[in-house]
Chains A and B, each alone.
Chain A
Amino acid sequence: MNPSLESLATCFQGLLPAQLFTCSSDGIPNAAYLSHVDYVDPEHVALSFQFFNKSRRNIAENPQALVFVTDPDTGQGWSLRLHYVRSETSGPLFERMALRIEAIASYCGLKGIFRLRAADVYRVLEVSRVVEESGAVRPSAGRVPDPIFTVKALQDLSERINRAECLETLVDSILAGLDDIFGFRHSMILVPTEQDGVLVAIATRGCEQHGVGAEVRYGEGIGGLVAEARKPIRISGLMRGMLYAYAMHKAPTEPEAVRRARQIPVPGLPNPESQLGVPLLVRGELVGVLCLESEVPYRFHEEDKASVELLGSYLAIAMQNMQWQERTIDAAAEPAPAPVAPEGAAAPGPICDSADRARHEIVYYAADECILMDGEYLIRGLPAKILWRLLTIREATGREEFTNRELRLDKSLNLPEWKDNLESRLLLLRRRLEQKCPSLGLVPKARGRFVLHVGCPVTLRAQ
């Protein structure tokens, strides 16, 4: 029995190039490779139309086509006999296909170069096996979606969300859960910064480079594209897609060169093969982006995508609620206690209780809202302003304990009245200090209250 089109969804990931056969009105056959076949519904697929090539001209004359696709899990080839129905130049299908092209192009530094002219929709008349491409059923392949596993996994993640007491434990426990339960080892959560069109990573897992604090502009990489489009994006076989893009751009190259040439340094794996990004949206507002990556060419299956999208909707609400909750608690919080110093004591100097006793120079560049430590970039934007404010207060008064509330009320920080995302900024600052300067730290003391720990002599200088 031949399968339903729906069950072939894995074949439409473009891991192996699809093949398109057409015929002109005067009876000359044509055979060509095809960049992308997209599943539309149980009776239709869409082919990308980027150039007025011979295949496209043939379809205009003779709407009959044959497409070969291959199941990346089993290697089974499938033949789809098609009849052209219509071309779409807008709408969800067109946008989804165009977004995939843009996502791949952005990795090649070719964003905006390739244009999807239309998503050509075809009715599928017949699905049959390509007998010379027999599939193998391997233990590691041909995953059958297990609804019980999926429900239990989502239940577990949902419990993690419920248990989280603050933004930090929320985002960390979700990334850990995705690793523990689904085996998604490389993940990150990005949030919008106070600068328009820029995201910053506040939590990462399995990312050795460009980790917490890494920034990405809207439209760059999977996270930036998801933020820009506010739609989920899944890419499989990224290198294959890039090779295709380079071929179109007349920049033929080899796979190794492609690996080296990824031109946009974005957070995450250096050479991902599969990516899945979902926007974290609450009533249309972008709270963040959840990104998963893998070095396996086809890692994120249909059921994974559905699960992560569902998780994303829970997570978005939880992140927003967490920030509102923190604000409410902050509003009722007591101000930070004044410094306790023995009578007659001199103004407190730096505390030197860590192994790192060398003096560090911390320079704040006000115009750029950027902090360098010993000449190395530490952090910028609002987290930099906050750190500088804390350090200067400490230097002037000796006070080391602070509250979120006072930061919110501090006019010099100029936090927005509403939706200031202070918790995510403090989380980012804490993580950056852990990574780059363990002698400095923000140590939570109670909800909405923390201690600025300075474990080495520091010299502060503003420019």
Chain B
Amino acid sequence: MGKHVAVVIRHTPFNSERNSEALRMSVGLTTGDNRVSVVFLEDGVLTLSRLQPAVIAADDVGKHLQACQMLGIRLVADEEALRQHAVSQPAAQVEPVPFAELRRLLSDADVVIPF
């Protein structure tokens, strides 16, 4: 197995294609035998809301989230941020975890990409 790469998403899903690109990149990273985790922090948890990007002709992050799940990418989110942003029914199978555990995950990763 290659390296453990943690991709951090912490910005809101719209106004830029940043989050969509972060997820597309995460999918691509699995091709290199890397173990990939996507970590949703702060406003980034809003990416897990049930979005309707087609309404504003924005890129569909949902398809990237689906691809992540199909490829076994671990999706984790700060449980406190999920509560604060009222994301009670995430659009993907994400693990809500305490911040301390996220900190551990990030410090154990070989590469962290704070997208």
Is the A/B pair a real complex? no
Residues in A lying within 8 Å of B, measured CB to CB? none
Residues in B lying within 8 Å of A, measured CB to CB? none
